[in-house]
Chains A and B, each alone.
Chain A
Amino acid sequence: MAVGQTRTERDWRMRLQDWLPKLVLSPSVAMTLLFVYGFIIFTIYLSFTGSKMLPSYDWVGFDNYRRLFGLSAWTTALINLAIFASLYVTICIAIGLSLAIFLDQKIRGEGMLRPIYLYPMALSFIVTGTAWKWLLDPGIGIEHTMHLWGWETFRFDWIKNRDYAIYTLVLAAVWQSSGFVMAMFLAGLRGIDNEILKAAQIDGASNWNLYRRIVIPLLRPAFLSAFVILAHLAIKSYDLVIALTGGGPGRATELPATFMYSYTFTRNQMAVGASSAVIMLMGIAAIMVPYIYAELKEKN
């Protein structure tokens, strides 16, 4: 009798132990399913309706997407994103890699330099935007300073210039993230077995060839991570544009993220805004899904 009792008790406890983990995990899973995936489905649904200021539920098919790609503002945002993203990713990787390789040469004061390269990553894009907005302002910033220092013909008014404003966005964004890319490459470099390098040197490889032929190919995983992180940050860029240029002058620095916000919340074209958000999500998914899939599979 007593044995039977403890058995059911143990049985009950076992079952509880079996359920408890799932129970504890369930709020997070429910939140993710509802607030992330449920909301994604809802936004996709909205993008097929005629919603204006408030959501409405009349089905209009692909009309919004047709309208979206007919809008010159959207085309401009996509072109701006293409310019911004390609320059941002390339320059960040170039600067990050160079800094990492140079820092890896037993540099005196490395411990002092590294935090200087990295601190912008701790700042909000709004702070970065504010600092660069006034630095780049021709009236008080770098141009003005150069004039005071005697270089009267110096001109640096990109931020006010429709053709060049997008490059100021690149400048500020590179300032913020390139140090982070440096840290990623530095971690990669420190992980390379020194014996390989020594062997190559004994074989008479020059430094240039050593890096080009051996080190940089070994950094492939770091390149991939840097690309994925930077590309997805570029697509999500919003705060920096708002703080630095507000999307202007004209539409010169409008990006999909700012387009989505203004169409949804200030122009009352919710369905068009929703479809632009869906396009952004597709861009991110194209980059992140294969990456996450590969990372999770690798772990098995």
Chain B
Amino acid sequence: MSVATQDSAVRTGRITRTFIYVFLIFFALFYLLPFFVMVINSLKPLGEITGGNMMALPQDWTIQPWLSAWSTAQIGVEATGLKPYFINSILMVVPAVAISTMLGALNGYILTKWTFPGHKILFGLMLFSCFIPFQIVLIPMARVLGELGLSGSTTGLILVHVVYGVGFSTLYFRNYYAAFPTELVRAAMMDGAGFFRIFWRIMLPVSGPIAVVCIIWQFTNIWNDFLFGASFAGLNAMPITVALNNLVQSSTGVKEYNVHFAGAILAALPTLLVYIVAGRYFVRGLMAGSVKG
């Protein structure tokens, strides 16, 4: 009774606790298994996968599959490896994240500190746009990109990702700024500070945490996008997710499972790194995007 602790008042017996640990560890293994399989099989010669056991550690460790996935594997008709597509993804993701985050910060600032009649409806409209099935915009978007001369270009993809990413970034900043005392903004206005001055001097300096959350969310989403890449990128701007899929689904030649696994890890590496370095913010972004609309 007296040992009732702060974070949980529930007491459990020894058998229950054992069961709980077994359950938790079982699921940890379940989540780790596919990644473990990817890693060990990306370091094996192909023969050890087709003729051997997928769960076994490599007998001949090799980084050949990684080199092949990076620079020589056949993607579509060209044997370029994933490298050019990795670069495409970076060229797409950096501007798209920067622009959508900046717009989101300004929008959130306006929608909380410079409100006007109808601002709620506008925000509602932007919020709903985060959740639409993108199939509904594919046909007109393909046409508009064509008209603008942006089909098959990285610029076109950046535009698409900014357009469909700005809803989420606005949501983040709006909810964050809503908690910021409006009196401070009022006081600054009285002192004659204008719209941008207040934004630069008062709002931006306190926006660090939410900016990190927003950047991570946009980065993960845009890097992992497949649908827009597959629909609008063509060959020249193809992002890595689409290239990886082409590599894995290609029906010509021998299926090089080890190269596929190495390629999959390459495609996952940037977002995984972000998750490892800033996991806390990643989780916060997920929650903000769901629990509070």
Q: Which residues of A contact B (CB under 8 A)?
A: 13, 17, 20-22, 24-25, 27-29, 31-33, 35-40, 42-43, 46, 55, 95, 98-99, 102-107, 113, 115-128, 130-135, 140-142, 144-145, 148-149, 175, 179-180, 183-184, 187, 190, 194, 197-198, 201, 207, 210, 221-222, 225-226, 228-229, 232, 235-236, 238-239, 242-243, 246, 256-257, 260-261, 264-265, 270, 273-274, 276-278, 280-281, 284-285, 288-289, 291-293, 295-296, 299
Instruction: Please choose the segment from B70-78, B129-137, B203-211 that sits at the chain A interface, where 4 or more of its residues have CB less than 8 A away.
Output: B129-137
What A residues does B106 contact at CB under 8 A? 24-25
B19-56 interface bits toward A, Cβ cutoff 8 Å, 1 = contact, 0 = none: 01101100110111111011001000000011011110
Q: Count of B residues near A, CB < 8 Å?
A: 105
B128 at the interface (CB under 8 A from A): yes
Which chain B positions have C-beta within 8 A of A276?
135
- Tell me which residues across on chain A come within 8 A of B132, comparing CB atoms: 36, 40, 281, 284
> Which chain A positions have C-beta within 8 A of B23?
98, 102
Known: A28-B107, A277-B138. A102 touches B248 (CB 8 A): no
Assess whether A284 is in contact with B133, with CB atoms less than 8 Å apart: yes
- Check if A184 sits within 8 Å of B248, measured CB to CB: no
Chain A residues, Cβ within 8 Å of B178? 299
Contact of B226 among A24, A135, A238 (CB under 8 A): A238
Smallest beta-carbon distance B175→chain A, Å: 9
A95 cross-chain contacts in B, Cβ below 8 A: 27
Docked complex Cα distance between A22 and B106 (Å): 11
**Contacting residues, chain A, for B162 (C-beta < 8 A):** 31
A31: chain B residues at CB < 8 Å are 162-163, 166
Q: Within 8 Å of chain A (Cβ to Cβ): is B254?
A: no
Q: Would you call B170 an interface residue if the criterion is a C-beta within 8 Å of the partner chain's C-beta atoms?
A: yes
Q: Once the chains are docked, how many angstroms separate the CA of A26 from the CA of B234?
A: 31
Known contacts A126-B241, A295-B292; A238/B227 CB under 8 A:
yes
A105 touches B17 (CB 8 A): yes
Check B244 for interface membership: any CB of A closer than 8 A. Answer: yes
Which listed residue (A46, A105, A135, A183) contacts B286, Cβ 8 A?
A183
Query: Which of A135, A184, A243, A260 interacts with B135 by CB under 8 Å?
Result: A260
Residues in A whose Cβ lies below 8 Å from that of B28: 113, 116-117
Q: Given that A183-B286, A293-B124 are known contacts, is A221 also in contact with B291, CB under 8 Å in the complex?
A: yes
Q: Does B149 contact A (CB under 8 A)?
A: no
Report if A273-B139 is in contact (Cβ < 8 Å); known contacts: A225-B290, A238-B226, A243-B248. Answer: yes
CA distance A96 to B125 in the complex (A): 31
Question: How distant is the Cα of A265 from the Cα of B208 in the complex, in angstroms?
Answer: 43
Q: In the complex, A180→B138 CA distance in Å?
A: 28
Residue of B nearest to A99 (CB): B27
B137 touches A117 (CB 8 A): no
When distances are taken between beta carbons in the complex, the residues of chain A under 8 Å from B138 are 260-261, 264, 277
B contact patch SS? helix
Bound form: Cα–Cα A106–B3 in Å: 13
Within 8 Å of chain A (Cβ to Cβ): is B86? no
Given contacts A21-B114, A124-B241, 8 further A-B contacts (CB under 8 A): A20-B195, A116-B32, A122-B268, A123-B271, A124-B224, A145-B55, A148-B53, A194-B9
Cβ of A274 and Cβ of B139 under 8 Å apart?
A: yes
* Residue from A13, A35, A221, A296 having most chain B Cβ neighbours under 10 A: A35
The verdict on B172 contacting chain A, using a C-beta distance below 8 Å, is: no
B223 at the binding interface (Cβ < 8 Å)? yes
Which of B59-67, B150-158, B256-264 lies at the interface?
A: B256-264
Q: Report the minimum CB–CB distance from A48 to chain B (whole Å).
A: 14
**Complex: A184 Cα to B16 Cα, angstroms:** 24
